[in-house]
Amino acid sequence: MLKVITLCLLFAATAQSATPKKIQESEAELCESTDEYVKTLKFLREVDEVYIREASARVVAERVASACNGASARFAKTLLLLKKIGLDHGRALEIAVEFSHESDDTQQSFQEIFERVYLTEFFDFDFVAAFKIAYELSKDYRGDRKQVREDFIKIADFCTKDKHLGLPIAVCAQYAIDLARMSQYYPKGVVEPFKAIYTVLREKKPFGLPVKDALEVTMRVLRFGPKAPDNFLRGYRFALDEKGHDATAKAALGFAISMAEKSITELPPPIIDTSKKDK
């Protein structure tokens, strides 16, 4: 009997060891490191003969190559941007290497947001302020980097190109920045909710609020998260309805804001990682 039990245990152990183990999932990326090194070194040799010495260029190329595929392109785009605005060579190289280690979306967000905040044809901030904002809305951003970039650009264009707004550039810039910061709380971005509320407050009766008041109410509502816009609009309609509160427009607006503020139990709203929405 003892022999039978021993044989059974031995067979079970053998069968278990023979069963293939599930391969552990890994986030490791396979890299064309030599290609990235060669592309970076070639770029540094061509960009400016006096920009960086050969020995230093090789060191930089190695650092970029360690950032895996696409790193040389991210590095080159960032360096050309910073070189164009006349940033100190050493600082420009360090920032370019830093963004070579980020994703394509992060680098693109930094570049496009920086350009709109810094360049004179847009918001015309100084370098320090523009860099801080672009860094916050790219590398430091916890939501979807592509979404915040698109939201910022759309809001900036809406604010600067809409003739009916007539806002000073500095005020327009601040609204664009503040709204972009809210993008991470909205599954599909903050642009459409912003336009929906602002348009109603400005154009629909019985609202017709001035630009400043419409913007202030819109911003106040949006900060309470993705449920707030709908709660605001439904609350307002209910308050006006004869079967609801049958309230005045002013009282209905106050009630609608109150409903919007109850859209979440505590602030800030949860950050929505929309980068995983299609996975």
Question: For residue 2, is it within any domain?
Answer: no
Computed on alpha carbons and rounded to an integer, the radius of gyration of the chain in Å comes to 27
pLDDT digits (tens, 9 = 90+) for 236-275: 999 999 999 999 999 999 999 999 999 999 999 999 865 5
Helix (H) and strand (E) counts in the chain:
13, 0
pLDDT at 15 over 60: no
Q: Quick check: 117 and 134 in contact, CB under 8 A?
A: yes
- Number of domains the chain is built from: 1
Which residues constitute the domain of residue 90? Answer: 32-101
Tell me the mean pLDDT in the region 1-23: 45
Question: For residue 222, is it within any domain?
Answer: no
pLDDT digits (tens, 9 = 90+) for 166-223: 788 999 999 999 999 999 999 999 999 999 999 989 887 777 889 999 999 999 999 9
Q: Quick check: 143 and 273 in contact, CB under 8 A?
A: yes
pLDDT digits (tens, 9 = 90+) for 60-79: 999 999 999 999 999 999 99
User: Residue 54: its pLDDT value, please?
Assistant: 93
Question: For residue 184, is it within any domain?
Answer: no
- Residue with more model confidence, 234 or 207: 234
Averaged pLDDT of the chain: 88
Confidence of residue 26 (pLDDT cuts 50, 70, 90): low
Ramachandran assignment for 242, one of left (phi > 0), alpha (psi -120 to 50 degrees), beta (any other): alpha
Question: For residue 72, is it within any domain?
Answer: yes
Question: For residue 218, is it within any domain?
Answer: no
Look at the block and give the residue holding tokens 């106040």. Answer: 220
Question: For residue 267, is it within any domain?
Answer: no
Question: For residue 67, is it within any domain?
Answer: yes
User: Residue 49: its pLDDT value, please?
Assistant: 62
Confidence of residue 12 (pLDDT cuts 50, 70, 90): very low
Question: For residue 52, is it within any domain?
Answer: yes
* Residue 218 vs residues 196, 209, 213: alpha-carbon distances, Å: 9, 11, 8
User: Residue 275: its pLDDT value, please?
Assistant: 52
Q: Quick check: 175 and 167 in contact, CB under 8 A?
A: yes
How far apart are alpha carbons 256 and 263 in whole angstroms? 11
pLDDT at 150 over 90: yes
How far apart are alpha carbons 226 and 267 in whole angstroms? 12
